Amino acid sequence: MERPAAGASYQRFPRVRIRELRDEYAKFELRDTDASMANALRRVMIAEVPTVAIDLVEIESNSSVLTDEFIAHRLGLIPLTSSAAMSAMRFSRDCDACDGDGSCEYCSIEFHLAARATDSGQTLEVTAMDLRSTDPKVCPVDQADAAGDSRGILIVKLRCGQELRLRAIARKGIGKDHAKWSPAATVTFMYEPDICINEELMETLTLEEKQSWVESSPTKVFDIDPVTQQVTVVDPEAYTYDDEVIKKAEAMGKPGLVEINAKEDSFVFTVETTGAITAYELIMNAITVLRQKLDAIRLQDDDGDLGELDAHLVGG
Amino acid sequence: MNAPDRYERFVVPEGTKKVSFEKDTKIMNAASFTIEREDHTIGNILRMQLHRDPNVLFAGYKLPHPLQYKIIVRIHTASQSSPTQAYTQAINDLDKELENLKQAFEDEKTRFERMKQGY
């Protein structure tokens, strides 16, 4: 077999089309690449894009019904605005400017919370709104929300006389370490389906048969044109690869009525974030992180006598 | 008490190399690359990219054990190429693809926002 010389490039040029883009939500099409790349991006978005989350809690006083560790865990899960996490901040394990006590400007942000219920009539709800940050860039996402109609995430409810006072330190981390650092609420992709109706065979069906076939799909993928009475594909992406219409066609004695294949190089992504970073930032950061990972696995010059070895291998 | 630190899953321990490489003793142009602290994210894109290279006769990866945080990539090439060359080329191609994708996203965002404003 004729083989090309080594060193040729087999790079792909993916195409993107954004369908929807809001602060915390994005839907886009990704084409001309394969499932491994789509899945790598999904995995990186979920587990390897850094954010900031509360990691260390020092409880000064807690007379609430929840235990200290319960509250510490709840604090950790509160999404904090994390635009600074990607490049401006350091991981505290890599930070040489501090000893991890939380007073370091490069790797940690201190929070304070003090609440005491004094009204005997009703319980006091302590929420993320009560957290006081020492850095205006990093705060609970509800506080940063310009609309300001949110009541904040509930941490604990206090009865009259109960008190909660604490100091918390937020750090940079990734979802692989603990899910509280994951910026992703959901990241999914689906293969775009390629639906091909056999028109000739379809015309052998009566209107009632067409109707019952169209209705056999659990999601609304097909419809009947009221004028021409032809079956049309209204929403290919509603198809969930359930094979119901194919089974129905077989049951009707019309196998091959429709052919549905997944396009192997086209994907529809849905990205939702917790609000820690925007969906667009999440996508861009995921690409950057994946490139950094690839860069880290390059062979170094000191990995044995590679040059010599290569020459030997090629010659052999 | 004696639980290992969580970061051991993704931080390469001191004194360990990120990538090490072992040539097959019996087959020409075959080698195994051990990549520390990586998983399917890297393993699968690398494997699929290697499959695009016609000089690569075999490329596969395995995660030997879920608690050993490393992957092993095995590459077997034709005599025109070598495993290290194919490996480096695959990384270069993936990196360029992602660079391209980033640019595509930036351009698409500009286009999308213009369209929304009704230009």
ipTM rounded to 2 decimals? 0.96
CATH superfamily of A51-181: DNA-directed RNA polymerase, insert domain (2.170.120.12)
Residue B92 lies in a domain: yes
Most confident of the following: A100-104, A111-115, A201-205: A111-115
Higher confidence at residue A93 or residue B70? B70
A80: β partners: A140
pLDDT of A1 reads 62
pLDDT of B117 reads 87
Interface membership of B84 toward A (CB under 8 Å): yes
How many structural domains does chain B have? 1
> Angle, to 10 degrees, between the axis of helix A35-47 and the axis of helix B40-51?
160
Rounded distance, CA A260 to CA A243, Å?
Answer: 9
Q: Which of residues 96-115 of B touch A (CB under 8 A)?
A: 96-102, 104-106, 108-109, 112-113
Rounded distance, CA B46 to CA B62, Å?
Answer: 12
DSSP H helices, A101-163, are: 141-144
Contact: B18, A3; criterion CB under 8 Å: no
DSSP A19-61: EEE-SSEEEEEEESS-HHHHHHHHHHHHHTS-EEEEEEEEEEE
**3-state class (DSSP) for residue A102:** coil
Residue A301: pLDDT band by 50, 70, 90 thresholds?
Answer: confident
For A166, residues 6+ apart whose C-beta sits below 8 A from its C-beta are: A57, A58, A59, A60, A61, A62, A71, A75, A112, A113
Residue B75 lies in a domain: yes
pLDDT of A102 reads 61
- Give the domain ranges of chain A: 15-46+187-268, 51-181
Structure tokens at A291: 């490139």
Residue B3 lies in a domain: no
Residue A100 with chain B: CB contacts under 8 Å = none
pLDDT, tens digit (0-9, with 9 covering 90-100), for A129-158: 999 999 999 999 988 887 767 889 999 999
Residue B52 lies in a domain: yes
Instruction: Kindly report which listed range (A2-6, A30-34, A130-134) carries the lowest average pLDDT score.
Output: A2-6
Rounded distance, CA A30 to CA A8, Å?
Answer: 25
| CATH classification number, A15-46+187-268, choose in 3.30.1360.10, 1.10.357.10, 3.40.718.10, 3.30.420.10 | 3.30.1360.10
- Checking if the pLDDT of A282 tops 70, the result is yes
For A124, residues 6+ apart whose C-beta sits below 8 A from its C-beta are: A115, A116, A117, A157, A158, A159, A162
* Residues A47-76, mean pLDDT to the nearest whole number: 97
Rounded distance, CA A283 to CA B42, Å?
Answer: 17
Q: What is the mean pLDDT of each run of 10 residues along chain B (119 residues)?
A: 90 94 94 96 97 96 95 96 96 97 97 88
Residue B1 lies in a domain: no
Residue A4: pLDDT band by 50, 70, 90 thresholds?
Answer: confident
For B28, residues 6+ apart whose C-beta sits below 8 A from its C-beta are: A313, A316, B79
Contact: A294, B95; criterion CB under 8 Å: yes
Q: Any idea what the CATH number is for the domain that residue B106 is in?
A: 3.30.1360.10
Residue A303: pLDDT band by 50, 70, 90 thresholds?
Answer: low
pLDDT of A98 reads 80
Residue A101: pLDDT band by 50, 70, 90 thresholds?
Answer: low
Rounded distance, CA A246 to CA A193, Å?
Answer: 14
* pLDDT, averaged across chain A: 91
**Domain that residue B55 falls in:** 8-118
DSSP B6-53: GGGGTSPPTT--SEEEEE-SSSTTEEEEEEET--HHHHHHHHHHHHT-
Instruction: Kindly report which listed range (A97-106, A146-155, A162-171, A267-276) carries the lowest average pLDDT score.
Output: A97-106
pLDDT of A145 reads 80
Owner of token pair 């072992």? B22
Residue A8: pLDDT band by 50, 70, 90 thresholds?
Answer: confident
Residue A298 with chain B: CB contacts under 8 Å = 19, 88, 91
Sequence letter at residue A2: E
Instruction: Kindly report which listed range (A157-161, A300-304, B49-53) carries the lowest average pLDDT score.
Output: A300-304
Structure tokens at A120: 């005997």
Q: Pairing state of beta strands B19-23 and B70-77?
A: unpaired
Interface membership of A12 toward B (CB under 8 Å): yes
